[in-house]
Each structure stands twice: as C-alpha cells, then as structure tokens.
Amino acid sequence: MTTRSRTRAVRRTAAASAGVLLVVGALTVTAGGTASAEPSPGAPPDFAPSPSPPVKVDPNAPGLMMKDGATLKEPKVLDIRSIVEEQSGAERREDSNSQTKFTLQAEVLFGRDSARLNTEAYARIKDIAAEIDKQGATEVNVFGFTDNLGSYEHGEELSRKRANAVHRQLLKELSSEVAFNIRGYSEDYPIADNSTEEGRKKNRRVEVSFPRGD
C-alpha cells in the first residue's frame, strides 16, 4: 500500500469512528446570496448503495413458521424510481416518489481540472432550473464529486468550486427564491469503479437534487 493510500485509509477509518466525514466548505446559500457554514456534512442525503434484487418468498418455506391457513400479503411497492440517461451517459435524471435528481458528468460542464463552465453547460443548467421552477422546489442540493486521482484535498477543493459554479448559474436562471445546500465531496461516495477510466469519468460529476412537487 502506498503512503497516500495508507493516509486515505486512516482518514476514512477515523471519520467512520467519529461518525462524521472529513469534508469542509459545506454551505447553505439562499437565492439572495446569504451563506452560512454547516457542520461536517456526512453522506449526501440521497446517497445509498444500489439495492439487491428482490428475492421471491416461498410461502411454504418452513422458516416462515406461518399458522395453518395463513397467507402472505400482496407485495407492496414502497418507492417508484424512473431513470432516464443519455446514451453517452453525460446526463442522468432520476425521479422517485420524493425527489428529482440530475447527475451531470464533469466533462460536459467543465474543462479538464477546471471549475469554469463551458458553453454546453449553460443550456443544461437552464433546463434543470426550468424543472426546479416547474416543481416549485424551495430547497436544492448541489453536490460536486471527483475521482480518486490526485490528492484528496485538491479533489475536495475542485468539487466544491464546481458545485459553486453550477449554483451561481442556477441563480441566474431561477425565477423564484431557493435555498441551496452546496458541498464538495472530493472522491468520497463514488458511483462507479475508480480503477478504470470509464468508472472515474462517471465519478467526476455534479448532482442537483430537490424534493418533488405534488
């Protein structure tokens, strides 16, 4: 294990023991520009590993210990999730019962190792702002993430700057006042394998999420 790998392992072990994540620069910002520092943010509020496929239950299995004549209730769907992704994987939209989330790969928003929005980014962010207005959201999360190349600290700074850049452009497009939670998570919470370039590309991303309207 390299020195940098050992350092990361120690950092993560300590964070897990303390119940917090070592991330700085977490802000809550209102549309009017007011910002306040928050405590260490922990995991993104909507982050969860992909669930395992459901297992069909055998009603006759002895382990159920059901009484004679008893039956299982019909399966109940707790949440419905709709996922639409561009063929290139550059943008992904997820709609559940509770929220809408847009995930954009960093390459379609920024240049390499940059937090300056490119020309293509403006149209994509404008569409997201239109959806926020349409659903009447009053609170929006903008979270930045990187891959595991380079130092953790550099990734933390870059992911935060990228989240702030998207936030500033959203402010220009929104027609109503919105409270923003803006955070940079560096390489934490990957959604793909960082050992391949394809996976690292997916992990370099900005997520914009908000509660669904009625």
194 neighbors 203 (Cβ within 8 angstroms): yes
Residue 100 belongs to domain with CATH number: 3.30.1330.60
Q: Which residues pair with 207 in a beta bridge?
A: 103, 143
Tokens of 50: 């992909």
Higher local confidence (pLDDT), 178 or 214: 178
Burial class (CB in 10 A: 0-12, 13-18, 19+), 132: buried
Higher local confidence (pLDDT), 154 or 212: 154
* Domain-located, residue 202: yes
Q: What is the pLDDT of residue 37?
A: 39
Is the confidence at residue 34, as pLDDT, over 60?
A: no
- Angstrom CA distances, 116 to 63, 119, 158, 164, 178, stand at 59, 10, 11, 10, 23
Dump pLDDT digits (tens) for 64-85.
Answer: 666 677 776 776 656 677 889 8
Is the confidence at residue 146, as pLDDT, over 70?
A: yes
* Domain-located, residue 37: no
Higher local confidence (pLDDT), 3 or 160: 160
Please count the structural domains in the chain. 1
* Domain-located, residue 27: no
Q: Please give the average per-residue pLDDT across 16-36, as a whole number.
A: 41
Is the confidence at residue 59, as pLDDT, over 80?
A: no
* Domain-located, residue 173: yes
Is the confidence at residue 210, as pLDDT, over 60?
A: yes
Poorest-confidence range of 26-35, 40-49, 80-89?
A: 26-35
* Domain-located, residue 143: yes
Tokens of 158: 């870059």
**Full residue range of the structural domain in which residue 153 is found:** 94-214
Global pTM reads: 0.69
* Domain-located, residue 70: no
Poorest-confidence range of 12-21, 42-51, 147-156?
A: 12-21
- Angstrom CA distances, 136 to 105, 107, 121, 211, 212, stand at 25, 29, 23, 9, 8
Higher local confidence (pLDDT), 213 or 203: 203
